[in-house]
Structure 1
Amino acid sequence: MQTKCHPLVSTTLGTSRELVSFHFGDARKGETIYLQASLHADETPAMLTAWSLKQRLAALEAEGRVRGEVVLVPVANPIGLSQHVLGQFLGRFEANSGHNFNRNFPMPSAAALIERVSARFSSDDAAHNARLLRGALVDLLGETRAKNEFESLRLALLTLASGADVVLDLHCSLEATMHIYTSPASWPAIEPLARYLGANGVLLATDSGGQSFDEVHTLLWNEVRERLGEKTPLGAPNVAATIEHRGQRDVDYDTASHDADAIVDYLIARGVIEGQAKDAPPLAQPATPLAGSQQLTAPVSGIVVYRAKVGARLKAGEPVFDIVDPISDAVTTVKTTNDGVFYMRRAIRFVYAGAPMGRVTGEKAIRSGVLIGA
């Protein structure tokens, strides 16, 4: 195992932070898999899973079983970890700018990337072209200069991930069942992982509108492929996904151990770790379009009483939650219009009118534009 430290730009006098990555195996021997945890710093279950995974990878490497390279960043957001206001942990947004840590990641353009390597493309070796483009992307990012700590964190994460064949961004929601966000192009490669993890929902979108960490890799690859056309072969698409490790309070050794074991099983199935791959269990739920998920909102303010458990499979018309007004005694019931899984919900129990309350998966697209929240 190699440990690498990546200093971030210092924001003020007397302060400094660094990003730490752990590297297992050798990229020259196979695929490179990149995993990072808790880019939203208050999403602790992902960090504990990454810690459990780190122990397993160290043991597997000692046994000589790592056949490619695995890059692991168990603490992807040292900035957010320091943000506590009056006892409240604020890890989703950067306090200085208000920016969401997982939105609007800047990537070099496809045109700039192609121009950098166009003279070296092969007319018949798709794998060579993929390696060439990934190397050029890392070089382009290396030539970028960050102006502040926030930008330097983003640049360090992008640089570490951009040479990888598979990018897995480990998160969690507020209160949720295990679910995954990925693109239709990545889904065939991610499906075994969904099975091993026991994902209770898989949401598919090519472009959710948020320029999140996983999507910028696949979107860039899509644009490169479109610009190159059929004359220049290109290897498999960048595979990327966001893994939502249930809810913020789902932090325990057994759960983290299960998820780490599932990721190892996936790496064995891909051939990155030597071993006999386990049979993947059946998919808990079929993949559905992210545009098909119903965003439930609070029509009035009041006390929230959930009537559906998170992870429950609901039928259209079933009640999901009530909002109780303790002044007027009015009770407002909100029902789903989808058949699907109630895969995530808010953690607080008093809401304002218009507050987003949770989502239910659905088979048919009912939304467009930006599909993810702030």
Structure 2
Amino acid sequence: MQRNEYPLLSPSLGAQKTLVAFRFGVPGARPKVYVQASLHAEELPGMLVAHHLRGLLETAEQAGLLKGEVILVPAANPIGLSQRLDHRSMGRFEFDTAQNFNRHYPDLAAAVLADASIRMGPDPHANVATVRELVHQWLTRWQPATELDSMRRRLLLLSHDADLVLDLHCDTDAVMHLYSEEACWSPFEPLARLLGCRAVLLAHESGGGPFDERLSGLWWQLAAALRVEGVNAPLPQACASTTVELRGEGDVAHDTAREDAQAIFAFLEHAGAVAANAPPRLPPMACKPTPLAGSQTLRSPVPGVLVFLAKPGAALSVGDVVAEVIDPTAAGQARVHQVRAEVSGVLYATVRERYIVSGGEVGKIAGATPFRSGDLLGA
């Protein structure tokens, strides 16, 4: 194991933050798997899972079982970790720009299209190596002007040539679920089984430039752009990425973190990054994948005290009451407003705050029929 520290651009005199990464296995070995946690810095379950996964990887490496290369970044957002307001962590948006830490990553396909279009050939493996080289060159030339962009650049330098990318997040209150691009679902079905995901949300492209999709989207977007340019060279989907939502923000416990780390380690065995005496047993799927465009975000049109009648993981039908919003100052029956499901599916996440303003988010239901378009991720 190698522990590496990467200083970020200093935003002010006397201020310096550092990103820490652990490398297991031989550099350049395949498959390369990149795992990071807490890009939204207040989402801590992934950090604890990374702690337990690190122990498993250290043991496997000492036993000579590492066949691929694994990069583990257990605290992917030192900027967000330093942001606090009124004694509360504020790790989703950067204070200086108000940008979401998991949006606005550079479009890598667009960045290398011109160079790739004149260097592609008939060998798909050579084309993959060429694209990875071009991306590395582009990232090396990029000179960020802000601390935030220097962090984005470092995370991409560590991960841009990975075969598999796991970005560990969580929701507020939630059951285990994951997001991925449609092109990546097949490689990650075993992971969804091992983690016991209660919802799997797939999209052709979610929008907003999130970290994971800039890595996997590079390949199908570049392949499509090359065809438009008249270049029909073979370019495989050389990276599959996913955002794993490790339940809710309050689910920080050794028992669940050990289970999740074991599941991810079993996935590494399944993927061939870690040698195993026998392939890990894959449990049956706990859900059917649904389109992210079919996910309903429940909102309340009125303010008041939020009281849930359904918990995350509940299977809902259209019309089922999910929550009540109580206005104790209203007259008569107007003081109770019911928030009902408008699609059938699993209630996979809810908010934790119990006072809601008008238009405020209540929760999310994984519906099977797409009805949304445009950017599909929330703020």
TM-score (normalizing by structure 2): 0.95
149, 156, 163: which one pairs with 1:165?
163
Deviation at 1:307, TM superposition (A): 0.3
Match for residue 294 of structure 2? Answer: 292
The one-character-per-residue Cα deviations of 1:54-110 (angstroms, maximum 9, x if unpaired) are 111111111111111000100000011111112111110111111110111113443
Alignment pair present for 1:18 and 2:48: no
The one-character-per-residue Cα deviations of 1:165-210 (angstroms, maximum 9, x if unpaired) are 1111100001110000001110011110000000000001122122
Tell me which amino acid in the other structure corresponds to 1:164: A
Match for residue 340 of structure 1? Answer: 345
Supply the distance in 2 between the matched residues of 1:106 and 1:258 (Cα, whole angstroms).
34
Tell me which amino acid in the other structure corresponds to 1:281: P
Supply the distance in 1 between the matched residues of 2:232 and 2:208 (Cα, whole angstroms).
32
Tell me which amino acid in the other structure corresponds to 2:287: Q
Maintained 8 Å contact 2:44/2:249 = yes
Alignment pair present for 1:303 and 2:308: no
Match for residue 373 of structure 2? Answer: 368
Supply the distance in 2 between the matched residues of 1:311 and 1:149 (Cα, whole angstroms).
39
Match for residue 83 of structure 1? Answer: 83
Which SS does the other structure have where 1:186 is aligned?
helix
Match for residue 354 of structure 1? Answer: 359
Alignment pair present for 1:65 and 2:65: yes
Match for residue 328 of structure 2? Answer: 326
Match for residue 102 of structure 2? Answer: 102
Supply the distance in 2 between the matched residues of 1:188 and 1:10 (Cα, whole angstroms).
41
Match for residue 213 of structure 2? Answer: 215
Aligned CA RMSD, in angstroms, stands at: 1.4
Supply the distance in 2 between the matched residues of 1:301 and 1:188 (Cα, whole angstroms).
42
Deviation at 1:216, TM superposition (A): 1.3
Tell me which amino acid in the other structure corresponds to 1:335: R
Match for residue 199 of structure 1? Answer: 197
Between the two proteins, the alignment pairs up a number of residues equal to 372
Maintained 8 Å contact 1:186/1:237 = no
Match for residue 121 of structure 1? Answer: 120
Maintained 8 Å contact 2:202/2:292 = yes
The one-character-per-residue Cα deviations of 1:134-169 (angstroms, maximum 9, x if unpaired) are 122112101100112111111111111101111111
Tell me which amino acid in the other structure corresponds to 1:5: E
The one-character-per-residue Cα deviations of 1:315-344 (angstroms, maximum 9, x if unpaired) are 221110000111126111111021110000
**Farther-moved stretch of structure 1 (220-229 vs 48-57):** 220-229
Supply the distance in 2 between the matched residues of 1:94 and 1:236 (Cα, whole angstroms).
32
Tell me which amino acid in the other structure corresponds to 1:267: L
Supply the distance in 2 between the matched residues of 1:14 and 1:102 (Cα, whole angstroms).
27
Which SS does the other structure have where 2:281 is aligned?
coil
Maintained 8 Å contact 2:219/2:237 = no
Deviation at 1:236, TM superposition (A): 3.0
Maintained 8 Å contact 2:348/2:365 = yes
Runs of 4+ in 1 over 4 A off after TM superposition: 117-120
Supply the distance in 2 between the matched residues of 1:80 and 1:213 (Cα, whole angstroms).
15
**Farther-moved stretch of structure 1 (100-109 vs 245-254):** 100-109
Tell me which amino acid in the other structure corresponds to 1:95: F
Match for residue 147 of structure 1? Answer: 145
The one-character-per-residue Cα deviations of 1:249-296 (angstroms, maximum 9, x if unpaired) are 000001001111111111111111100221210110000000001110
281, 284, 305: which one pairs with 1:282?
284
Maintained 8 Å contact 2:219/2:235 = no
Supply the distance in 1 between the matched residues of 2:205 and 2:41 (Cα, whole angstroms).
24
163, 186, 193: which one pairs with 2:184?
186
Maintained 8 Å contact 2:348/2:366 = yes
Alignment pair present for 1:240 and 2:241: yes
Any unmatched runs of 5+ in structure 1?
none
Which SS does the other structure have where 1:185 is aligned?
helix
Identity %: 42
The one-character-per-residue Cα deviations of 1:111-140 (angstroms, maximum 9, x if unpaired) are x424435555341x3122112211221121
Any unmatched runs of 5+ in structure 2?
none
Maintained 8 Å contact 2:299/2:359 = yes
Tell me which amino acid in the other structure corresponds to 1:238: C
Tell me which amino acid in the other structure corresponds to 1:11: P
Supply the distance in 2 between the matched residues of 1:305 and 1:288 (Cα, whole angstroms).
27
Maintained 8 Å contact 2:313/2:346 = yes
Supply the distance in 1 between the matched residues of 2:169 and 2:132 (Cα, whole angstroms).
25
Deviation at 1:27, TM superposition (A): 4.1
Supply the distance in 2 between the matched residues of 1:51 and 1:131 (Cα, whole angstroms).
32
Which SS does the other structure have where 1:129 is aligned?
helix
- The 1:343–1:127 alpha-carbon spacing in structure 2 relative to 1, beyond 3 Å, is same
The one-character-per-residue Cα deviations of 1:293-318 (angstroms, maximum 9, x if unpaired) are 11100110000000001111112211
Alignment pair present for 1:267 and 2:268: yes
Supply the distance in 2 between the matched residues of 1:280 and 1:264 (Cα, whole angstroms).
13
Supply the distance in 2 between the matched residues of 1:227 and 1:296 (Cα, whole angstroms).
36
Supply the distance in 2 between the matched residues of 1:282 and 1:108 (Cα, whole angstroms).
36
The one-character-per-residue Cα deviations of 1:22-46 (angstroms, maximum 9, x if unpaired) are 1111243321111110000000001
Supply the distance in 2 between the matched residues of 1:233 and 1:333 (Cα, whole angstroms).
54
The one-character-per-residue Cα deviations of 1:199-257 (angstroms, maximum 9, x if unpaired) are 00000112212211111122221221113347311233420110000000000001001
